[in-house]
Amino acid sequence: MRELIKVFYYPDMLADTNTLKKAILFFDEIHFMDRPSFNFKSGFGSIGMESPLRPWSQKFQSDGVPLFVHDAPYGRVEAEFLANVTADVNDPEFLRRFQRGIGQSDAFRDMQIVPGNYGNGRNNIDVARALTEVDLAETLRPYTNPMEILDDQGIRPFDMDTAVGCAKTLVVNAALCSAKINFALSLGASDGFVPLADAEPFGDLLGAKYARAIEKLSSAANQIQVTDLSFAIFDGLVSKDKIAAMGIEDVIRYRKSSANARSEFLEHLGVIQAKQAAIGADGDYAGAIKKIVQTEILPAAQAFRNKLRAIDESLVGALTKGTVGGLARIIHEGLAVAL
C-alpha cells in the first residue's frame, strides 16, 4: 500500500486557483501555512499574515478534502536554519536562478516582490526589471560574500536608483525565498510533507541546492518531487482551459468519485520517481522532469490518458455548466488581496 502524499504549499499563504484545483484532484492531504514572519539580524524580514484559506479549511474538510492551514513560524532566522539560507544566498548559481526567475515568471515575480507602490511611480514590475538588469558579480565584488551586503547600513532599503541598492534588494528577497524553501524541506524531513510550488523558478532553485550538495545527498533525497511530476504530466495530457473552466465544487465532486483512480495514478508515479527521478550534477530540475516525461510518460501516453480519462471527461462536462461557485470566487478575490 502506498504512503499518503501530503503536500505543503510553501511559496505563499495562498495558491493560484488552478493550482488548488489540481492539488484537490491529485493529492491525499493539502497543507497551507499563514504567511511567516521571518527576520534576520540585519533588520530585514517578512510581515506575517493570516491565510485567506484559514476560514475555509473546515468547509473543505467537511466536503471530504483534507485541507489544513497551519500557524506560520516567526522570529529570528538563526542556527542551522540561517546556515542553510546563507549557503543558498552565497551560491552564485542560486542567486543567478533567482534573478532569472523574477524576470521570466510573472507568478514567481509577484510572490517575491508583492504588487504595490514602491515610490517614484514604480510598481513591482519596475522593481523586478531593475533587479534583473543589475550585474550582481560586478556589484558584489567589494563584499566577501553576498550575505555581507545585508549588513551594509549605508544602503537604504529598496534603493532602485543605484546598482548596489538593486543588488541588496535582490539578495534580501532571495534570502526570504530561501527561508521558505528550507522551511518546506525541513517539514518534509520531519513531518513527511512533500513541497509543492506552482512556478518553474522554484524548481530551478531546488536544482541549484541539489547540485551544490550532490555528493552529500542520498539518491532518495536527490529527486524530482512527485508533486512537480504530477503537474507536468497533467498539464501535458489535459487541456489547461478545462481545469480553468472547472468550478471548485466540480473538482471536489470528482475527487470523491475518483479515489481509486487517483490512488492508482499516484502509486504509478511513485514507482517512476523511485526508479529514475534523480537530478544530475548540473541541477537541471526542469530538464530532469522533461527527461522523465520523454522516456516514461510519452511511450505510455495512452495508458496515462486512460488513467486521466475520468478527469478529462469531468472537466469537459464542467465546460457546459459555465459556473464558478462562490467559494472559487472568494478564493480568487483573496488571492488578489493577498498579493
Q: Work out the pLDDT band at 277, boundaries 50, 70, 90.
A: low
Q: Is the pLDDT of residue 61 over 80?
A: yes
What's the pLDDT at 267? 84
Q: How far is residue 223 CA from its own chain's centroid?
A: 16
Contact residues for 86 (Cβ-Cβ < 8 A; gap 6+): 147
What's the pLDDT at 222? 57
* 135 is a domain residue: yes
Q: How far are the Cα atoms of 92, 176, 314 from residue 77, in angstroms, in the given order?
A: 21, 10, 45
* pLDDT one-digit tens code per residue, 155-165: 987 889 999 99
Q: Is the pLDDT of residue 284 over 60?
A: yes
Q: How far apart are CA 56 and CA 331, in angstroms?
A: 9
For the ranges 7-11, 162-166, 248-252, 256-260, which has the lowest average pLDDT?
A: 256-260
Q: Is the pLDDT of residue 330 over 50?
A: no
Q: Work out the pLDDT band at 294, boundaries 50, 70, 90.
A: confident
Name residue 195's beta-bridge partners. Answer: 8
User: What nine digits make up the cell of 282?
Assistant: 548540473
For the ranges 73-82, 254-263, 266-275, 277-286, which has the lowest average pLDDT?
A: 277-286
* 1 is a domain residue: no
What's the pLDDT at 259? 85
* 28 is a domain residue: yes
What's the pLDDT at 335? 36
Number of domains in the chain: 1
Q: Work out the pLDDT band at 83, boundaries 50, 70, 90.
A: very high
Question: pLDDT > 70: what percent of the chain?
Answer: 82
Q: Work out the pLDDT band at 131, boundaries 50, 70, 90.
A: very high
Closest CA to 61 of 35, 34, 32, 36: 32
For the ranges 94-108, 115-129, 184-198, 222-236, which has the lowest average pLDDT?
A: 222-236
Q: Work out the pLDDT band at 290, boundaries 50, 70, 90.
A: confident
**Residue 248: which domain range?**
6-338
Question: pLDDT > 90: what percent of the chain?
Answer: 43
Task: Count Cα atoms within 13 angstroms, Cβ side, for 203.
Answer: 21
Q: Is the pLDDT of residue 219 over 70?
A: no
| Cβ contact 86:50 at 8 Å | no
* pLDDT one-digit tens code per residue, 94-130: 999 999 999 999 999 999 998 999 888 899 999 999 9
Highest mean pLDDT among 121-130, 227-236, 256-265, 304-313: 121-130
* 154 is a domain residue: yes
Q: Is the pLDDT of residue 332 over 60?
A: no
For the ranges 75-89, 222-236, 308-322, which has the lowest average pLDDT?
A: 308-322
| Cβ contact 89:126 at 8 Å | no
What's the pLDDT at 291? 80
* pLDDT one-digit tens code per residue, 41-55: 888 888 899 999 999
